[in-house]
Amino acid sequence: MSRTVYVNGEYVAEEDAKISIFDRGFLMADGVYEVTSVIGGKLVDWPGHCARLSRSLNELDMKSPGSDEELLAIHRELVRLNDLEEGMIYMQITRGAEDRDFAWSDDLVPSIVLFTQAKSVAEKAEYKTGIKVISVEDIRWARRDIKTVQLLAPSLCKMKAKAAGAQDAWMVEDGFVNEGTSNNAYIVKDDGTIVTRNLSHSILHGITRAAVLEYAREAQIKVEERPFTIEEAQGAAEAFVTAASTFVCPVVEIDGVQVGSGTPGPVAARLREIYLAESLKKAV
C-alpha cells in the first residue's frame, strides 16, 4: 500500500514525491535527520528529538524549515494519514537545492522530507535473543555528535558485521569503543554499574541514551560515563545498546566472545521495561 509522505510543504503519495537532483542532501550529504518511534499512534521522546534537531541545524549553520510546533504537527498528521499504530517517522532536512558548488548561498531554502515506516518496535525477537556484534575501526568524520545523513561509513560497518554473522558493529577509535553503527553502546559491571562512553564530538548524543541514563539513576543504578575497551566489554557481566528504533537491546557476543552468560542480562531487561513504561507515559 502506498504511504502518504511529506515533501516541502505537501502531503503526497510516495510515488509522487520529488526532490531536486541539485539538492545538497543528495549531492553533498549536506543534511540532518531524526528518527522518532511511534507506539500506540504516539511519538516517543519527541522533545529530545526536536531539541537535537535544532542543535544539529545550529552546528551546521542550517536554517530550520519550521518551528518545533509545526514539525510536531507534520509528524502527527503523517501518523493520522498513514494510520500508523507502531513504527517510526523519519525526518530529513537538507540545506536546499542550487547548482553544484562546495560553497552555498545564504538565501538557500531548506528541503524537508518525512515518511513513516510501519514496524514492530516495542517487541522484537532480538530483545529476547540478544545480538552479536563485531568490532571495527571507526572511519567516520570527526563531528559524530551532529546527526548528519552521511551514513556510508556506518553502512559499510553494518555490512561487515552481517558478513561476519553478527547483527551490528561497535566502532572503535584509539582502542576505545565509540558506539554501534546506529546506537549507543553500554556494558554492565559485576556490581551492576552501567558504563557508557561520555558525551563528546566522538559519539551521537542519543536521545534514548539520555532517557535511559536518567531512568537508571532514578532507579538507583550506578552510571559511569567513560570510554571502555572491547576487552573490558568481553569480560563484562552484560552489554547492550540503545536507540530510538530499538530502545534497549541486549548484546550477547562481542568478536566471538560470549558476554556474561551469553544470554540477555537482567539489567538490560529492567532498563528496557522502565524505559518503555516511562517514555510511553510521556509520548505525545
Closest to ligand PLP by CB, 96 or 180: 180
Catalytic residue among 18, 147, 162, 189: 147
**Grid cell locating 148:** 548528519
Minimum distance of ligand PLP from residue 32's CB (angstroms): 12
Q: Cα–Cα distance between 168 and 180 in angstroms, integer?
A: 7
- Closer residue to ligand PLP (CB): 74 or 207: 207
* Residue 194 DSSP SS3: strand
What's the min distance (Å) between Cβ of 182 and ligand PLP? 4
Q: Examine residue 268 and tell whether it contacts ligand PLP (CB under 6 A).
A: no
The yes or no reply on residue 179 touching ligand PLP (CB under 6 A) is yes
- Smallest separation (angstroms) from ligand PLP to the CB of 257: 23
The answer to the question of residue 207 lying near ligand PLP (CB under 6 A) is yes
Helix (H) or strand (E) holding 124: none
Grid cell at residue 230: 572491547
For the bound state, the minimum distance from the C-beta of residue 16 to ligand PLP, rounded and expressed in Å, comes to: 28
**Is residue 222 among the annotated active site residues?**
no
Q: Are 143 and 32 in contact, with CB atoms under 8 Å apart?
A: no
Nearer to ligand PLP, 211 or 267 (CB): 211
Does 204 bind ligand PLP (CB under 6 A)? Our answer is: yes
Q: Which residues contact 252 (CB under 8 A, 6 or more apart)?
A: 129, 130, 131, 132, 239, 258, 259, 260, 262, 263, 264
Burial class (CB in 10 A: 0-12, 13-18, 19+), 125: exposed
Stretch of residues binding ligand PLP (CB under 6 A), selected from 10-18, 125-133, 159-167, 180-188: 180-188
3-state secondary structure of 98: coil
56, 82, 183, 279: residue in contact with ligand PLP (rule CB under 6 A) = 183
Size of the site for ligand PLP (CB under 6 A): 13
The total number of residues written for the chain in this structure: 284
What is the 3 state secondary structure string of 146-179? CCECCCHHHHHHHHHHHHCCCCEEEEEECCEEEE
Candidates 4, 56, 148, 182: give the one binding ligand PLP (CB under 6 A). 182
227 near ligand PLP, judged by CB under 6 A: no
Site residues for ligand PLP per CB under 6 A:
35, 179, 182-184, 204, 206-209, 242-244
Task: Just list the catalytic residues.
Answer: 147
